[in-house]
Chain A
């Protein structure tokens, strides 16, 4: 027997019984809960499963144009603010999550006549339509709003308020027909529509093409506010305006390269045979195969590159005229950032590269992480957890696709500190299979953004929520933390853990895990054998056999974790207030030599 200490339960209970809440405190709890129930809780949207064609993000940042007054922090007469997703667009980047509109292919047949393109059999450029429905303008006594695009090949397509075009009509020769009545309606909706010059395709050329956009394309437009009431108003164009980005493969070799690759992917995808399952509502569902996913991933990757290239240097002037005759202009600079693509489980973020004028250091326990391995996280808190299925009949294991039950270990990044000045945000990215982050927060202060989809795990967020009892927060491959407190030292403490998941697809790990589970089963057996006889004070005392079995289990679990963690990397990118960025890569290690095992890291 290990010990014969007799715990005095009664004495302990008598003391603890005195620790309780009084009625006033309980009423406070009730009141808090009632308040929480009535409030609309805003949580930054984590990546949900969506149609893969959606979720392109347009990042707008406000640049102050010399000489134009910009009023921050409130609405006054003769000034306006712009918001996206209820966040004011100021110096910080604000992401407008935009529904991607599939690019419209425009066959520039007329260009075939140009001598330099005579060798091209089929020339195709695209016009990418991006919805900016989340962009709003708020101000008092707004008379008109004017949008003007400032770069060639960037323009707008307008639809009448409340209407939109979905598909073209075709004549008997299969030629697209422009709905002129529709176009007239558009022109009536907007006070002024600037002629289209920022495009290689005018209306006449459109008619020769395979598809016509049933809207009015223009360099800019002016919208008159029909609301004549006084006071603050918010105006948004919803889905009536799309921002158009036009490709120009003739003059941009890089665009041509990207577009060719995308076309190859499309052709490959179309060439594969597909099985469709008919659903109740008459639509069809096809489950993507691995091969198809790979093709689409590649296509999306290059599409992202193309969009970024199209968006670089693009700006839009927004001019608001007020009823008293004064006006104010603000300029939005566009950047492209791709948020998510949940079917393909990708997330590609493109940032404008900045100069490395700032720097940051990663420290742990006051030691800078350089070549030496430094402890950055402890496994003290949560180790060796499973997924389980809860039902009326009890609890059963939740198995992975190989029919095995995985074990999850968590390392809270309590010892990792990022130090630097003027830090705006920090992005963490886990790069290795079976390692990813768990954010232990409901993010109600919106400090965690750009939460990347989970691809380093066999499981999904939904599975964690359903089968990982007590699960809280988000699991993700990476995230960005906003340094809203403007700290020079940031330690996320227990808000972030690095999860390490067993990986049965690795043969060596699978063998180690089998031993771990053998020890589990032996434990159960020992319980049955020894517990009934070895009970004093309700406590089962571990026998030498059990202690040895526990040690073996822990030893093999450590080997599993070591195999997964050793050499895994985490990228930490710090963005500074001036827009510059610096990235460092940590190479992880595992130290289980002591009572508590911990994660180590050294800088790459």
Chain B
């Protein structure tokens, strides 16, 4: 049976053995309205690009790198848009992809330039922006704390949503928020 004498060629509709059949992959059942429309690209950028840029900036601490990350993620979105089920999923997907991409970017940047850890903390604004003490202190936190703080306080995500975006447990989110706040408190009290 298995090695019986039958010849299968690529050009054929293959059924060398009638009792084995390949599984056809399933498509998602949920399709968002704007995912189907032609202005999916414009709307995605309009709705989410600033959010992604800020998250990327929080992690990379560099506006050029943050913009590069946004470009990477949107290109990936185009390739993966069939997997997106609805608007909410899109936002979560973009967030997670941005976080992952930003971290990869950090690693590559570190390898290329080999800057010292002190220099890593010297984030830069390309535009003139007012820096607040609090913002400054947040940006000086270790990355795992400042990201959680940003997502919680600025993006208003719930613990569950943050856990999903970062791929960590809810407990880890709570712990990091807790420790991040402790560190902020210590830093700001010292400065004052």
A residues contacting B by CB (< 8 A) are 2-3, 5, 7-9, 11-16, 18-21, 25-26, 28-30, 32-34, 36-37, 41, 48-54, 99-105, 126, 129, 131, 133, 164-167, 210-211, 213, 238-239, 242, 262, 265-266, 269-270, 274, 276, 279, 283-286, 296, 299, 303, 343, 380-385, 390-392, 410, 414, 440, 442, 462, 465-466, 469-470, 472, 491, 493-495, 519-520, 523, 539-542, 546, 550, 553-554
Whether, in the assembled complex, B5 has its beta carbon less than 8 Å from a beta carbon of chain A, the answer is yes
Contact B10 A238 (CB under 8 A): yes
Bound CA span A26–B51, Å? 12
Q: Which residues of A contact B76 (CB under 8 A)?
A: 442, 472
Task: Pick from A5, A242, A266, A343: contact of B3, CB below 8 A.
Answer: A266
B17, B50, B67, B169 pick with most chain A CB within 10 angstroms: B169
Q: Which residues of B contact A541 (CB under 8 A)?
A: 178
CB distance from B78 to the nearest CB of A (A): 4
Task: Pick from B1, B111, B154, B178: contact of A493, CB below 8 A.
Answer: B111
Q: Which residues of A contact B108 (CB under 8 A)?
A: 493
Known contacts A29-B74, A36-B78, A102-B7; 18 further A-B pairs (Cβ under 8 A): A9-B153, A11-B134, A12-B153, A16-B150, A18-B129, A21-B49, A25-B49, A51-B16, A105-B4, A284-B18, A391-B30, A465-B83, A470-B96, A470-B164, A472-B100, A519-B171, A539-B152, A542-B175
Bound CA span A391–B86, Å? 10
Q: Which residues of B contact A540 (CB under 8 A)?
A: 174
Interface string of B1-21 (1 = CB under 8 A from A): 111111111111011111111
Contact A381 B1 (CB under 8 A): no
Bound CA span A416–B9, Å? 44
By beta carbon, the residue of chain A nearest B81 is: A37
Contact A382 B168 (CB under 8 A): yes
Q: Sample 6 A-B pairs with CB under 8 A, ordered by A number.
A: A29-B71, A30-B45, A303-B3, A462-B25, A462-B26, A470-B164
CB distance from A300 to the nearest CB of B (A): 9
Q: Which residues of A contact B185 (CB under 8 A)?
A: 3, 5
Bound CA span A392–B29, Å? 10
Whether, in the assembled complex, B75 has its beta carbon less than 8 Å from a beta carbon of chain A, the answer is yes
CB distance from B116 to the nearest CB of A (A): 17
Task: Pick from B20, B41, B70, B103: contact of A37, CB below 8 A.
Answer: B41
B15, B28, B57, B171 pick with most chain A CB within 10 angstroms: B171
Task: Pick from B3, B152, B174: contact of A550, CB below 8 A.
Answer: B174
CB distance from B10 to the nearest CB of A (A): 5
Given contacts A7-B153, A28-B71, A37-B41, contact A165 B7 (CB under 8 A): yes
Interface string of B32-51 (1 = CB under 8 A from A): 00000000011011100110
A9, A29, A50, A285 pick with most chain B CB within 10 angstroms: A29
Contact A296 B2 (CB under 8 A): yes
Task: Pick from B15, B25, B170: contact of A523, CB below 8 A.
Answer: B170
Q: Which residues of A contact B75 (CB under 8 A)?
A: 32-33, 36
CB distance from B99 to the nearest CB of A (A): 8
By beta carbon, the residue of chain A nearest B89 is: A390
Contact B168 A491 (CB under 8 A): no
Contact B11 A383 (CB under 8 A): no
Whether, in the assembled complex, B162 has its beta carbon less than 8 Å from a beta carbon of chain A, the answer is no
Given contacts A28-B71, A102-B16, A493-B104, contact A131 B171 (CB under 8 A): no
Q: Which residues of B contact A30 (CB under 8 A)?
A: 41-42, 45
Q: Which residues of A contact B89 (CB under 8 A)?
A: 390, 469
Bound CA span A541–B175, Å? 10
CB distance from B73 to the nearest CB of A (A): 9
A16, A25, A266, A380 pick with most chain B CB within 10 angstroms: A16
Q: Which residues of B contact A104 (CB under 8 A)?
A: 5, 7
By beta carbon, the residue of chain A nearest B16 is: A53
Q: Which residues of B contact A105 (CB under 8 A)?
A: 3-5
By beta carbon, the residue of chain A nearest B21 is: A285
CB distance from B41 to the nearest CB of A (A): 4
CB distance from B38 to the nearest CB of A (A): 10
Whether, in the assembled complex, B22 has its beta carbon less than 8 Å from a beta carbon of chain A, the answer is yes
Task: Pick from A29, A37, A299: contact of B2, CB below 8 A.
Answer: A299
A15, A20, A54, A303 pick with most chain B CB within 10 angstroms: A15
Contact B17 A103 (CB under 8 A): no
By beta carbon, the residue of chain B nearest A385 is: B167
By beta carbon, the residue of chain A nearest B129 is: A18
Q: Which residues of B contact A33 (CB under 8 A)?
A: 41, 44-45, 74-75, 77-78
CB distance from B7 to the nearest CB of A (A): 5
Q: Which residues of A contact B19 (CB under 8 A)?
A: 274, 276, 283-286
Which 7 interchain pairs have the tightest Cβ spacing?
A470-B96, A239-B9, A15-B135, A382-B167, A384-B169, A211-B5, A5-B185
Bound CA span A51–B100, Å? 35
Contact B181 A102 (CB under 8 A): no
Task: Pick from A3, A20, A466: contact of B178, CB below 8 A.
Answer: A3
Contact A283 B4 (CB under 8 A): no
A5, A41, A284 pick with most chain B CB within 10 angstroms: A5
Q: Which residues of B contact A494 (CB under 8 A)?
A: 103-104, 107
By beta carbon, the residue of chain B nearest A162 is: B11
CB distance from B142 to the nearest CB of A (A): 10
Contact B7 A25 (CB under 8 A): no
Given contacts A15-B129, A28-B71, A442-B79, contact A383 B172 (CB under 8 A): yes
CB distance from B175 to the nearest CB of A (A): 6
Given contacts A102-B2, A238-B11, A380-B144, contact A21 B53 (CB under 8 A): yes
CB distance from B19 to the nearest CB of A (A): 4
Task: Pick from B5, B129, B172: contact of A103, CB below 8 A.
Answer: B5
Task: Pick from B96, B127, B172: contact of A469, CB below 8 A.
Answer: B96
Q: Which residues of B contact A385 (CB under 8 A)?
A: 167-169
Contact B21 A37 (CB under 8 A): no
By beta carbon, the residue of chain A nearest B1 is: A270
Q: Which residues of B contact A381 (CB under 8 A)?
A: 103, 167
Contact A383 B16 (CB under 8 A): no
Given contacts A5-B181, A279-B21, contact A102 B4 (CB under 8 A): yes
Q: Which residues of B contact A28 (CB under 8 A)?
A: 71
Bound CA span A213–B185, Å? 82
Given contacts A213-B7, A523-B171, A553-B171, contact A7 B129 (CB under 8 A): no
Q: Which residues of B contact A48 (CB under 8 A)?
A: 25
CB distance from B17 to the nearest CB of A (A): 7
CB distance from B24 to the nearest CB of A (A): 9
Bound CA span A51–B14, Å? 9
Q: Which residues of B contact A303 (CB under 8 A)?
A: 3
Bound CA span A491–B107, Å? 10
